Amino acid sequence: MPFISSSTYRPPRFLSNPHVQTVFASMFRKVSGVRYKRDRIDTPDGDFLDLDWSGVGADKVAIILHGLEGNSERSYVKGMVRALNNDGWDAVAMNFRGCSGEINRKLRFYHSGETEDLDTVVSHVIAENKYSRLALIGFSLGGNVVLKYLGERGSKAHPVIRRGVAISAPCDLTAGANKMAEPVNRLYIMRFLRMLREKIRMKMELMPERINDDGYRTIKTFKEFDDLYTAPMHGFKDAADYWQKASSKPFLPEISVPTLLVNAADDPFLAEPCYPVDEAKANSAFFLEVPKFGGHAGFVAFNREKVYWSESRAISFLNT
């Protein structure tokens, strides 16, 4: 029964508030010492993905997936890259379509359940033919993608994939979207919608006849955004259909690669269905850890190595 009921994470005294954890880790952390080498690869549908590599000459590698409107430069990604490199892992940070600084070519871009692009990246990395072990690490939206990808493939996952880690993942998208619509999360929603509008406007410049931002100011929730953009752009009926089909929770029972999900109990973005205790108890390959504190992708820690708890916890799991 791999439900880890007691976690080792203890927040700094003045960072126990979940919103402070979330904002501090996202806005104020600076990560130095990470130098990327960019690799652009083609997708089967004629688009492209930008990968940022940080290698140490290892025979093991971790692919890192960022969250909504993130990229490889976000502090949580670079912090994980640095920690992995220091532990003897190569790392490759995957930028979702349109998130690498250049808008992608197609009308579609990325969403919480899009796993084919991850499969393209996994195949590309394996084709390098220099790694005996591969791990997948995802944050928030990227964590949901990792969980869904491993669940979809089940026992047929490529044997070089040895571990998966998801941090602050909204594995039930309906519950997560409803939680984000609460007044307490209004500032977060406004920030995400503002960034997403910039993407819509960049796409308008490429294909003005296919997309516009008319009425965007009336959008106040993820449901309204997903109804208007995400669902029709990616072949879903509406937001509800998208959330149901893109959630990783239904796929958790099929995971066969040892996989760890870390969701803080005080995460302001997650509702009760995003803590799949029953699924963890029923699947010996799926581990759920619920620290009392941590916020959303926070898990701040102060130490000489400048490593956050989520990074040390992920690496400990990868090496077990």
Q: Is 19 a catalytic residue?
A: no
In degrees and rounded to multiples of 5, residue 228 shows phi and psi of: -85, -35
Cα diameter, the chain: 54
Apex 31 CA angle, 21 and 313, nearest 5: 60
**Sheet holding 37-42: strands in order across?**
3-4, 286-289, 259-262, 161-167, 133-139, 60-65, 90-95, 48-54, 37-42
| Catalytic pick among 72, 266, 296, 312 | 296
Q: Active site residue: 90, 226, 227, 267, which one? A: 267
Cα 271 to Cα 269: distance, rounded to the nearest angstrom: 7
Q: Has 227 been annotated as catalytic?
A: no
Q: Where are the beta strands (DSSP E) in the chain?
A: 3-4, 37-42, 48-54, 60-65, 90-95, 133-139, 161-167, 259-262, 286-289
Closest CA to 245 of 96, 119, 111: 111
Alpha-carbon Rg for the chain, nearest whole angstrom, is 18
Nearest to 169 by CA among 309, 320, 290: 290
Q: Are 223 and 177 in contact (CB under 8 A)?
A: yes
Q: Which of 54, 140, 248, 310 is catalytic?
A: 140
Q: Which residues are catalytic?
A: 140, 267, 296
